Amino acid sequence: MVRLATDILDYATPPQVSCRSQQAVPLQHADAHTPSEKVIMITTLKDKLSPTEYTPWVLYTAVGTALANLLLIVTGAVVRLTGSGLGCDTWPRCTDEQWTTTPAQGIHGFVEFGNRMLTFVLMVITVLAFFAVLRLALPQATVRSVLPKLFTGLRTQNSRYSDLFNLTLLLLWGIPLQAVIGGITVWQRLNPWMVTAHYMASAVMIGLAAVLINRVRRYFKPATAAAENLDSAFSEKGRVSVQVLGWLGLVLVVFLVFMGTVVTGTGPHAGDPRTHRHDFNPIVIARLHAWAVWVYLVSLMTLYLIVRAYALPKAYKFSLAVLTGVIACQGTIGYIQYNTGLPALLVEAHMLGSGLFTWAAISLIERQLTLTSRTARELALSRRVQRTSPQ
């Protein structure tokens, strides 16, 4: 954290100029700059926020998008657990007359309106992430050349870091989509199926951010490339099994996240006491969700045995360890909350854990599907930056 704060301060601090050999000059206002100095300052800021070569800022913004979406899940859970889902009873306004909450709406209006405002925080962080990779992908980018690509993306796979550009672009477009789904959810008076759609959109955003982080580390961090054995010759050992388990894992993760929202939709924390709930048997739904978790754990154990048997890259072991730890915590919280009447604090922790689970699971799956594909490996190698020491 200290290093991260130091790096950020380095970005924000303009170069210092020694004045020992200079003659005394009249005191000027702090904001007084010559036109050439202003151009240099603007150019320097542009290079720091949108570099043409990798800097740690690129990774910081990528991680920031994942953390911001996690925060949105946490605050969304607070809205639901405090019964504030209809604290603002319409959308996009908070009331029919006002854009903001009013004293008459009390704490519920404040909680819901505060959650809505976080959308703008997410937008700022995602815009920074987009600009951080923009000139990596398009070094000569101009407003005129970039505008059409905001709607089409970079369609040529072999273009410079097109995947980073497209991932941040999808994250950008995902924000208004999330907002619209949230608005429809309010219009539908917190229909549990709309709540499911809203959460699934957030899960997709975290998944995209996880892929973005993986790619940035793979291309620019020598330690990550070494852990993934990118420099080694492509091997067929265990390739098909790892790929099959990757696709199976993706299906199971989507099912698990979806079933988690259905369990929520049958439970007591609806977001508003007047809200309709699913008519499913909550015990049956909760057990189905738990059984799916055990099936997923079996698939992870199978992957671990394959990784050991064929001495596959140690990056798999790291991802498996992180994911297994998250699942262990999630399972513990899940069983405790199920047997203690779903206390709000445990439900909140479980919601945070679901976001972390999505992050860890998609990170592993991306590795499985990328490192076992000859084409994807060759593309990653072509984009990898050779460095004598990691940044």
Q: Is the dihedral of CA 97, 102, 108, 113 positive or negative?
A: positive
Average pLDDT, the chain: 87
Q: What is the largest CA-CA distance in the chain?
A: 83
Pinpoint the alpha helices (H) of 340-373.
Answer: 344-371
Residues 207 and 296 in one domain: no
Place 1 in a pLDDT band, splitting at 50, 70 and 90.
very low
Does 42 map to a domain?
no
Residues 124 and 56 in one domain: yes
368/157 Cα distance (integer angstroms)? 20
pLDDT at 211 over 90: yes
The pLDDT, as a whole number, for residue 30 is 43
Place 233 in a pLDDT band, splitting at 50, 70 and 90.
confident
pLDDT tens digits for range 291-316 = 999 999 999 999 999 999 999 999 99
243/246 Cα distance (integer angstroms)? 5
Does 6 map to a domain?
no
Cα Rg of the chain (Å, integer) = 24
| Chain position carrying tokens 């973005």 | 212
Lowest model confidence (mean pLDDT) among 42-56, 148-162, 269-283, 342-356: 269-283
Q: 270: how many CB neighbours lie within 10 A of its CB?
A: 20
pLDDT at 158 over 70: no
Residues 202 and 258 in one domain: no
Total number of domains in the chain: 2
Residues 179 and 310 in one domain: no
Q: Is there a contact between 137 and 169 (Cβ–Cβ < 8 Å)?
A: no
The pLDDT, as a whole number, for residue 292 is 95
Residues 197 and 344 in one domain: no
Question: Closest Cα to residue 380, out of 189, 228, 172?
Answer: 228
Q: Which of the listed residues 152, 187, 220 is the one where a domain comes to its end?
A: 220
Place 33 in a pLDDT band, splitting at 50, 70 and 90.
low
75/348 Cα distance (integer angstroms)? 9
Does 387 map to a domain?
no
Give the domain extent around 352.
232-270+277-381
- What's the mean pLDDT in 188-209? 96
Residues 182 and 210 in one domain: yes
Does 388 map to a domain?
no
Place 91 in a pLDDT band, splitting at 50, 70 and 90.
very high
Q: Which of the listed residues 197, 220, 243 is the one where a domain comes to its end?
A: 220
Residue 148's identity, in one-letter code, is P
- What's the mean pLDDT in 189-213? 96
Residues 213 and 92 in one domain: yes
203/188 Cα distance (integer angstroms)? 21
Residues 285 and 345 in one domain: yes
Pinpoint the alpha helices (H) of 50-85.
Answer: 56-81
252/249 Cα distance (integer angstroms)? 5
Distance of CA 228 to the CA centre of its chain: 22
Does 28 map to a domain?
no
**Those residues with Cβ within 8 angstroms of residue 131's Cβ, 6 or more apart along the chain or in another chain:** 49, 50
Give whole-number Cα distances, 199 to 129, 202, 214, 319, 331, in Å: 22, 5, 23, 24, 20
Does 312 map to a domain?
yes
pLDDT tens digits for range 253-275 = 999 999 999 999 888 877 777 78
Residues 114 and 214 in one domain: yes
pLDDT at 81 over 80: yes
Residues 285 and 367 in one domain: yes
Residues 154 and 238 in one domain: no
The pLDDT, as a whole number, for residue 236 is 83
Does 35 map to a domain?
no
Does 301 map to a domain?
yes
Residues 199 and 246 in one domain: no
pLDDT at 147 over 70: yes
